[in-house]
């Protein structure tokens, strides 16, 4: 739980720092006047970069989130700021555009985020384009035809007790905004990914910037910020995909190889392997096997002594201890071995209970208890005169692991 919260918090660090920077610049008017005219260009530039990144990494939802933010900025400028400050003519009057935009942005971001990505990318994009396009066009058409009715719906404060006047949003939009933020936050808790954190902060920034549409550069700066955050999330996810193992959340083989190249002169490496895992899979099924691997990974992640765990592949994990000897690392590994041995994994959950007596009898014959545990064996080696590089140390640790298996499993062997 603590790890989950730390991870969640870490997702917010970059977006919040960026947002704080932008807020400082706007509040204290720190942008040099010579740079103001470039802010419009940065919006276009970051939108283009973001859209290209989402296309390159096939992220449909990120693509639409970036599109919504970019379009909102354009509507804010051409549909609200210009008509209000310079009196330009628009098909929908600015007050109505303001009302509709403040409602549409959180709603579209929410629906887009809840809409699962489909395998067929082009179909997925076209379908979203059609649905969102129609939705926006219909609302704008209503705004054009019946501005008084639309404003009559948005302008009054229907529930005075539930209104935050300072935010400068119509109450209906405020509800859409708070509702979207709540649902998006729950989504983020369930699936702590950079994209969800980025879109959450981006939505807050964009909606709060809306009442400041007349500011000289605030809308452009905030939009650029939102676009940068959404683009960074695409890169972060691409990085995670390459370096992080999907099942366990541990860094994978590629990250290990990278780490091995940057080890100093002294280090110890341990190889660990789940005991009799084939039998476990055959007895309890692959799904429970996956659950066990997740549990083992979660335990290994907690390793002390400055060690770091990686998924080497299959049911094998590697632990790297920079600056440690094998003897120094051993007590930290021993703690993990014991923690895993003592961890009980539930075999069946309520939804998988047998539907009939016959099925129940069959299942009970296969598994007579509801909880099982697994053990792991480990081999550990250190860099020394005879083992000069990480590959040799890993090989020696692997041989020590083999020794631990032969000696009866559930133990740690040192390479000699
Ligand atoms: N559920 C699950 N099983 C996996 C995964 N990766 C590898 N395995 C299984 O891990 C098992 C490894 O079995 P073996 O290498 O024969 O070794 P073992 O049964 O653990 O026996 P010892 O190592 O001798 O204790 C195989 O059955 C693989 O299918 C995975 O991601 N999920």
Q: What 3-state class would DSSP assign to 384?
A: coil
Look up the CATH number of the domain holding residue 407: 3.30.70.270
Query: Which SS3 state, helix, strand or coil, does residue 313 take?
Result: strand
pLDDT in tens, 202-261: 999 998 889 999 898 999 999 999 999 999 999 988 888 888 898 998 999 989 998 998
Give distance in angstroms: CA of 78 to centre of ligand 1. Answer: 61
Residue 354 has pLDDT above 50, yes or no: no
Report CA(250)–ligand 1 centroid distance (Å).
18
The single residue listed with the structure tokens 């395998």 is 119
**Burial grade of 221 (CB within 10 A; 0-12, 13-18, 19 or more):** buried
Percent of the chain with pLDDT over 70: 94
Closest residue by Cα to atom 15, ligand 1, is: 278
Q: Which residue lies with its CA nearest to atom 18 of ligand 1?
A: 276
What's the 336 CA to ligand 1 centre distance in angstroms? 19
| Count of domains observed in the chain | 2
Model confidence at 192: pLDDT above 80: yes
Query: Residue 265 and residue 262: Cα distance in Å, rounded?
Result: 10
Q: Are residues 233 and 269 in the same domain?
A: no
Tell which atom from ligand 1 comes closest to the C-alpha of 289. 1
Q: How far apart are CA 219 and CA 210, in angstroms?
A: 7
Residues 274 and 389 in one domain: yes
For residue 292, the ligand 1 atom closest to its alpha carbon is 1
Q: For a pocket test of ligand 1, which of 271, 278, 284, 406 has the largest count of ligand atoms closer than 8 A to its C-beta?
A: 278
For the cut 80, the answer to whether the pLDDT of residue 361 exceeds it is no
Find where tokens 């007579």 sit.
368
Whether residues 272 and 350 share a domain: the answer is: yes
Output the CA 315–ligand 1 centroid distance in Å. Answer: 6
Determine which residue's CA is closest to atom 32 belonging to ligand 1: 290
* Protein residue closest via CA to atom 12 of ligand 1: 278
Sign of the CA dihedral 95, 98, 103, 108?
positive
Average pLDDT for 120-134:
90
| Residues 319, 299 within the same domain | yes
Q: Which two tokens stand for residue 122?
A: 């082009």
Give tens-digit pLDDT for 58-68: 889 999 999 99
Best residue among 276, 281, 312 to mutate for probing ligand 1, ranked by most atoms within 8 Å of CB: 281
Residue 410 has pLDDT above 90, yes or no: yes
Burial tier of 43 (Cβ tally within 10 Å: 0-12, 13-18, 19+): buried
> What pLDDT does residue 351 have?
44
Domain-embedded: residue 381: yes
Residue 159, pLDDT > 50, answer: yes
User: Strand 376-382 vs strand 412-414: parallel, antiparallel, or unpaired?
Assistant: parallel
**Residue 39 placed within a domain:** yes
Name the residue among 61, 57, 137, 66 with its Cα closest to residue 104.
137
**Statement to judge: residues 56 and 171 lie in one domain:** yes
Q: Write down the residue that tokens 């100093």 correspond to.
A: 264
Parent domain of 351: 253-414
| Residue 184: φ, ψ to 5° | -65, -35
Angle between helices 253-260 and 218-243 (to 10 degrees): 90
Say whether both 390 and 282 belong to one domain: yes
* Amino acid 358: pLDDT: 55
- One domain, residues 258 and 231: no
| Any atom of ligand 1 within 6 Å of the Cβ of 276 | yes
232 and 258 co-located in one domain? no
- pTM, rounded to two decimals: 0.71
């Amino acid at each position: 739980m603590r790890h989950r919260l730390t991870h969640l918090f870490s997702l917010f660090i970059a977006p919040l720092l960026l947002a704080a920077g932008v807020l400082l610049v706007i509040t204290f008017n720190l942008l040099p006047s010579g740079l103001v005219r470039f802010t419009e260009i940065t919006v276009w530039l970051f939108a283009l970069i973001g859209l290209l990144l989402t296309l390159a990494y096939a992220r449909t939802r990120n693509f639409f989130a970036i599109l919504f933010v970019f379009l909102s900025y354009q509507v804010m400028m051409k549909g609200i700021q210009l008509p209000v400050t310079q009196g330009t003519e628009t098909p929908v009057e600015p007050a109505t555009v303001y009302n509709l935009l403040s409602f549409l942005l959180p709603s579209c971001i929410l629906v887009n985020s809840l809409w699962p990505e489909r395998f067929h990318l082009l179909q997925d994009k076209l379908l979203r384009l059609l649905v969102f396009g129609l939705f926006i066009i219909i609302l704008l058409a209503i705004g054009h035809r019946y501005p008084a009715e639309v404003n009559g719906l948005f302008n009054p404060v229907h529930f005075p007790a539930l209104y935050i006047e300072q935010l400068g949003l119509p109450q209906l939009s405020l509800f859409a905004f708070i509702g979207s933020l709540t649902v998006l936050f729950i989504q983020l808790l369930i699936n702590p990914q950079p994209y969800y954190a980025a879109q959450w902060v981006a939505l807050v920034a964009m909606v709060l910037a809306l009442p400041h549409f007349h500011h000289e550069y605030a809308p452009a700066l905030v939009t650029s910020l939102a676009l940068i955050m959404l683009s960074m999330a695409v890169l972060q996810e691409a990085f995670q995909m390459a370096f992080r193992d999907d099942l366990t959340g541990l860094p994978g083989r590629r990250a290990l190889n990278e780490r091995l190249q940057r080890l100093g002169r002294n280090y110890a490496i341990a190889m660990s392997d789940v005991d009799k895992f084939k039998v476990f899979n055959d007895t309890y099924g692959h799904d429970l096997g996956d659950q066990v691997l997740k549990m083992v990974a979660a335990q290994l992640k907690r390793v002390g002594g400055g060690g770091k765990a990686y998924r080497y592949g299959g049911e094998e994990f590697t632990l790297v201890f920079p600056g440690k000897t094998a003897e120094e690392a051993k007590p930290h590994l021993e703690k993990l071995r014991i923690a895993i041995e003592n961890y009980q994994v539930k075999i069946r959950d309520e939804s998988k209970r047998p539907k009939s007596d016959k099925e129940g009898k069959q299942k009970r014959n296969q598994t007579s208890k509801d909880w099982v545990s697994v053990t792991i064996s480990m081999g550990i080696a250190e860099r020394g005169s005879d083992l000069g590089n990480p590959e040799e140390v890993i090989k020696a640790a692997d041989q020590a692991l083999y020794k631990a298996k032969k000696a009866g499993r559930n133990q740690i062997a040192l390479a000699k």
